[in-house]
Amino acid sequence: MTHPAPDPELALAYLDGRIDDGPLLVEAARLRDEGKGRIVTYSRKVFVPLTTLCRDRCTYCTFAKPPGAGGMYLEPEEVLGVVKAGAERDCTEALFTLGDRPEDRWPQAREFLAAHGHGTTLSYVEAMSRLVMEETPLFPHANPGVMTREEMAALRPSNPSMGLMLENVSPRLMEKGMPHFECPDKDPAIRLQVIDHAGELRVPFTTGILVGIGETNQEIIESLFAIDERQRRRGCVQEVIVQNFRAKADTPMRRHAEPLPAWFARVVAVARWLLGPEMNLQVPPNLTEHFEIYLSAGINDWGGVSPLTIDWVNPEQPWPHLEELAARTRAAGHELVPRLPVYPEFIDSTWLAPSVLAKARRATDSDGYALAGRALPSSR
Ligand code: SF4
C-alpha cells in the first residue's frame, strides 16, 4: 500500500464532529471508486457455529453460552449437513465462527474433544475445515478466535482465508467494568500478533473494528492505524470490517447506546481514508438498514450474507434479502458481485496452498469473482 498516511488529528476532528464531514465523505467515495471501481462484493455463506462454548466473557455477547444453556459443539455430520445445504443454494463460504478455547474453562468441552480424538478446539476446527474442503464445493473461512502461529499454519491448507476482529487496540477495554474484562483473548497485543502471524504465513486475513463498545474516538483512530501499519508491513489484510455495536437484550450492555448512522458513516469514511483505495472495506448489512449511507462513505463489500443460515453472532438481525441488497446497491450506482471468502487479489500461489488455489481457480471467473450465485433472484 503506497497511499499517503492521513493526518490523525484531522481524522479525530472528523470523528469528534468538530468539522463538516462533507469533504471526508466525498474523498472516501472517491478513494473507493479509484481502487474498486463500481463493483461491490459479498460472499454467499453458510454460518457454521462449531462451538458456542467460550472461555471469555464479553459483556455484549449472546453467542457464547455455558453448557446446559445452549453451549455445544456441532458434530461432523451436522457440519456437513449445513454446508451441503449451502451448496444447494450456491453458497461458496463455510464460515466457522466459534468461541475461544472453551476447553480451558469447561470440562464438557474437553470431554467432547476427547471423544472426537482432539485435544483442542483448534484441532477440531482443522479437521472440520479439511472435511468441508475435501467433501463439498464450499471454502472454509476460519474465524476461531485467537490462534497460535502453529495453529494458523495447520489451518492454511484447508482455509483460503481466515479472520479475527481486532475490535479495538485499547487495553483499557479489558479493565474492570469494561466489555473485555476477564477476556484473555481480547488482549489487543495478542490479536495484533495474530495478524502478524498471518503475514508471516501468507494467510489472507480479515480483521476489523467493533465500534461503540466504550472506546474513545482517539482509540478508533489508533485501531485503524494499527491495522494499516500491519498492512503496510505484511500485506496480508484482505479486508477490514467496520462493525457497529448493537445492544442485545439479556446482556450487561443492553442499555448501552448504539452508534448513530450519520456518525458511524464518519467512522467508515475515516477508515477508507486511512486505509486507502486498495483496501476492501465492509459494513455488515444485517446490522444496519442504511445501505446507501455506507456506500456513500466508501465501502466496497457487504461481507458474508447467507441465503440459508442465521447470523449466530447477531441472531436477532436477519440477513437482508439478496434481491433487495442487489437492487439498492445497483440504485446507488454499483454492481453487486459474489466473491469467495478470499478476495480476488489474493487468489495466487503466493497466498494460497496449491490444492486451495486449484479449487479457487475452478470456482472463479477470470477476474477472481465467484461463478456461483450470479443469477439473482436466488436467495430466499
Ligand atoms: S464475543 Fe467471542 S470471545 Fe467474547 S464471549 Fe462471545 S464468543 Fe467469546
Ligand 1 environment, Cβ below 6 A:
54, 56-58, 61, 63-64, 99-100, 145, 183, 185
DSSP 271-328: HHHHH-TTS-EE--GGG-S-HHHHHHTT--EEEEE-SSS--SSSTTSPPPPHHHHHHH
From 54, 97, 213, the mutation candidate for ligand 1 (largest count of ligand atoms within 8 A of CB) is: 54
Check residue 311 and give its pLDDT. Answer: 76
Mean pLDDT of 152-178: 98
Atom from ligand 1 closest to the CA of residue 62 = 6
Compute the average pLDDT of residues 167-185. Answer: 97
Residue 3 has pLDDT above 80, yes or no: no
Report if pTM > 0.75. Answer: yes
| DSSP string across 159-222 | -SEEE---B-S-GGGGSTTSTTTT-GGG-HHHHHHHHHHHHHHT--EEEEEEESSS--HHHHHH
Does residue 223 surpass a pLDDT of 80? Answer: yes
Q: How many CB atoms are closer than 10 A to CB 135?
A: 11
Nearest-atom number in ligand 1 for the CA of 52 is 7
What's the CATH number for 8-362?
A: 3.20.20.70
pLDDT confidence of 378, banded at 50, 70, 90? very low
Separation of 98 CA from ligand 1 center, angstroms? 8
The rounded distance, in Å, linking the Cα atoms of 207 and 239 is 7
Distance 67 CA to ligand 1 centre (A): 15
Nearest residue (CA) to ligand 1, atom 3: 56
The SS3 of residue 107 is helix
Give the integer Cα–Cα distance in Å for 75 and 271. Answer: 39
Tell which atom from ligand 1 comes closest to the C-alpha of 180: 4
Q: Cα(211)–Cα(343) distance, rounded to whole angstroms?
A: 24
Give the pLDDT confidence of 86-95 residue by residue, as tens digits. Answer: 999 999 999 9
- How much distance in Å is there from the Cα of 61 to the middle of ligand 1? 6
CA dihedral 312, 318, 319, 322 (to 10 degrees): 150
First to last CA, the chain: 39
Q: How far is CA 62 from CA 93, 211, 314, in A?
A: 23, 17, 8
Distance 59 CA to ligand 1 centre (A): 9
CB 342 within 8 A of CB 125: no
pLDDT of residue 4: 65
Can you give the residue ranges of every domain in the chain? 8-362
Q: Which residue has the higher pLDDT, 319 or 201?
A: 201
The answer to whether residues 188 and 169 touch, using CB atoms and an 8 Å cutoff, is: yes
CB proximity list for 114: less than 8 A, separation 6 or greater = none
Residue with the smallest CA separation from ligand 1 atom 7 is 99
> Residue 376: its pLDDT value, please?
59
The residue type at 66: P
Which ligand 1 atom is at minimum distance from the Cα of 185?
3
* Model confidence pLDDT, tens digit, residues 94-120: 999 999 999 999 999 999 999 999 999
- Residue 379's pLDDT is 42
CB 147 within 8 A of CB 197: yes
Q: Which residue out of 58, 185, 190, 246 has the highest number of ligand 1 atoms within 8 Å of its CB and is therefore the one to mutate?
A: 58
The predicted structure's pLDDT at residue 321: 85
CA of 228 to the centre of ligand 1 (A): 24
CB 128 within 8 A of CB 76: yes
Please identify which residue in the block is written with the cell numbers 461481507: 303
How remote is the CA of residue 81 from the centroid of ligand 1, in Å? Answer: 25
Say how many Å lie between the CA of residue 318 and the centre of ligand 1.
20
Q: Quote the CA–CA distance of 203 and 282 in Å, as a whole number.
A: 19
172's grid cell: 483499557
Query: What pLDDT is stored for residue 95 in this prediction?
Result: 97
Whether residue 42 has pLDDT greater than 80: yes
Whether pLDDT at 380 is above 50: no
Average pLDDT over residues 240-263: 94
| Separation CA 345–CA 146 (nearest Å) | 25
The whole-angstrom separation of Cα 236 and Cα 206 is 9
Cα–Cα distance measured from residue 192 to residue 230, given in angstroms and rounded to the nearest whole number? 8
Residue with cell 456506500: 295
Atom of ligand 1 nearest to the CA of 55: 8
Distance 57 CA to ligand 1 centre (A): 6
> Amino acid identity of 333?
G
Per-residue burial over 12-26, b = 16 or more CB atoms within 10 Å of its CB, e = otherwise: bebbeeeeebeebbe
pLDDT at 1: 43
Q: Tell me what percent of the residues of the chain surpass a pLDDT of 70.
A: 97
Percent above pLDDT 90 for the chain: 87
Atom of ligand 1 nearest to the CA of 57: 5
Is 377 a residue whose pLDDT tops 90? Answer: no
Stretch 150-176: mean pLDDT: 98
Label residue 308 by pLDDT band (50, 70, 90): confident
Question: What is the residue-averaged pLDDT of the chain?
Answer: 94
